[in-house]
Amino acid sequence: MYGLLKLMNAGLTENDQGSDGWVPVVLSADLPVAGVMRAQIDATQPLDLVVWRSRSGQVSAFDNRCPHRGMRLSFGFVRGERLSCIYHGWQYGEDGACRHIPAHPDMTPPASIGANTYLCREYDGVIWISQNADNPPDLPTFGGQGLRSLSVNRDEADLRKLLAETCIPLSGAGETAPAEASIIAENQTSLVLESTTEAASLQLMIHFQKVTPGKTMLHIQTNPDLPVDLRISLSRWAERFRWSAENMGTMVNSWDASAGEMRP
């Protein structure tokens, strides 16, 4: 099955999150070339980062604060292999070092002027940040396709419990009822939900990003090459899941066969 064996063998359970580990911040597909975005991580101290992709495709992450006068770098723009701050145009390379100060164009900035950087790695369709440059742990492999990311006002621990009890659609046309899902693999950063009936089988890989206390970003991947209408169904499932997680305590959706409808 897609990557399932790889998953089991790749040390998925060995990841150690917290300030030493990897945190997923965006699906690769959602950070195009020259893309710039903000990522907040609730780590041992709250982090506010800018994540960006250069023209050549390289991803980098800095503290979201320009060393010049404190402007948020996530408002900046990418030119070539550099991120420019929107305020005075100071340019930074992928290593964080300042390369050009427009107000003093003839001066080469010293290497000591630069943005604070974080280890940033793109792996298996997800972009990850780590604060520990020395011994970053292995990342999980799924071989999936990015579906979407979703911000939920709920703690990660609650979300994991709710995901264990959810049902996910297996077809786009709604002909079959959503099937109960179970968690078939789980570690500190991610889990894999599988839903199986006689007719079909599906896996979702969900990566967790603690944004602030009580707010979690879910980055969701599916098996590759699913039909578009199923992808749309899954996207809607994600929204319903978010709604119930934010509004209904620990109650979960289930399919009421006799009534032919979704019931809380």
CB of 116 to another protein, least distance (A): 11
Please, what is the end-to-end C-alpha distance for the chain in angstroms?
32
Structural contact between residues 60 and 52, judged by C-beta atoms closer than 8 angstroms: yes
Does residue 137 bind another protein (CB under 8 A)?
no
Q: Identify the residue among 57, 102, 214, 224 touching another protein (CB under 8 A).
A: 102
From CA 52, how far away is CA 94, in angstroms rounded? 9
Calculate the CA 97 to chain-centre distance.
26
HSE, side-chain direction, 13 A CA sphere, residue 118: 28
Question: CB-wise, 80 or 227, nearer to another protein?
Answer: 80
Q: Identify the residue among 4, 29, 37, 101 touching another protein (CB under 8 A).
A: 101
Residues 42-81 touching another protein, rule: CB under 8 A, are 65, 67-72, 75
Question: CB-wise, 88 or 236, nearer to another protein?
Answer: 88
Does residue 86 bind another protein (CB under 8 A)?
yes
Question: How are strands ordered across the β-sheet holding 91-92?
Answer: 77-79, 82-84, 91-92, 98-100
Question: CB-wise, 97 or 177, nearer to another protein?
Answer: 97
CB of 92 to another protein, least distance (A): 11
HSE, side-chain direction, 13 A CA sphere, residue 122: 17
Residue ranges binding another protein (CB under 8 A): 65, 67-72, 75, 84-89, 95-97, 99, 101-105, 107-114, 117
